[in-house]
Amino acid sequence: MITRIWHGWTTHENALDYQELVEEEILPSIANRWIRGYRGAHLIRRDHENEVEFITLLWFDTPQAVREFAGENQDAAVVPAKARALLSRYDELAAHYQVIIEPE
């Protein structure tokens, strides 16, 4: 399994709107693409003094599934316009890790 990890940061004022956008629109739209080998996602959040950090973890079975999601440049960030409007900054590239141990 492969984990795709991506970071985005926003203001405290925009954090809830961004969180709701990811939960209600972005992740469901990824699931609705029926990508073979896509296994779901986690969205995690950490509040800092001056900003809020979000990390998105997407789970895929194969590199081919990652490419089906992200395109030929599988490391490129996939950030819809609505999300970009709410983020202060974000990673231009995602990182991919091979999962060695999974929870039981």
* 3-class SS letters over the chain: CEEEEEEEEECHHHHHHHHHHHHHHHHHHHHCCCCCCEEEEEEEEEECCCCEEEEEEEEECCHHHHHHHHCCCCCECCCCHHHHHHCCEECCECEEEECCCCCC
Number of domains comprising the chain: 1
103 domain residue, yes or no: no
Q: What is the pLDDT of residue 102?
A: 86
pTM higher than the cut 0.75: yes
Please tell me the predicted confidence (pLDDT) of residue 103.
Answer: 84
Q: Which CATH number do you get for residue 30?
A: 3.30.70.100
Specify if 104 maps to a domain. no
The whole-number mean pLDDT for each consecutive block of 10 residues of the chain, a chain of 104 residues, reads 98 98 97 96 97 98 95 94 97 96 87
Task: Note down the domain range covering 6.
Answer: 2-98
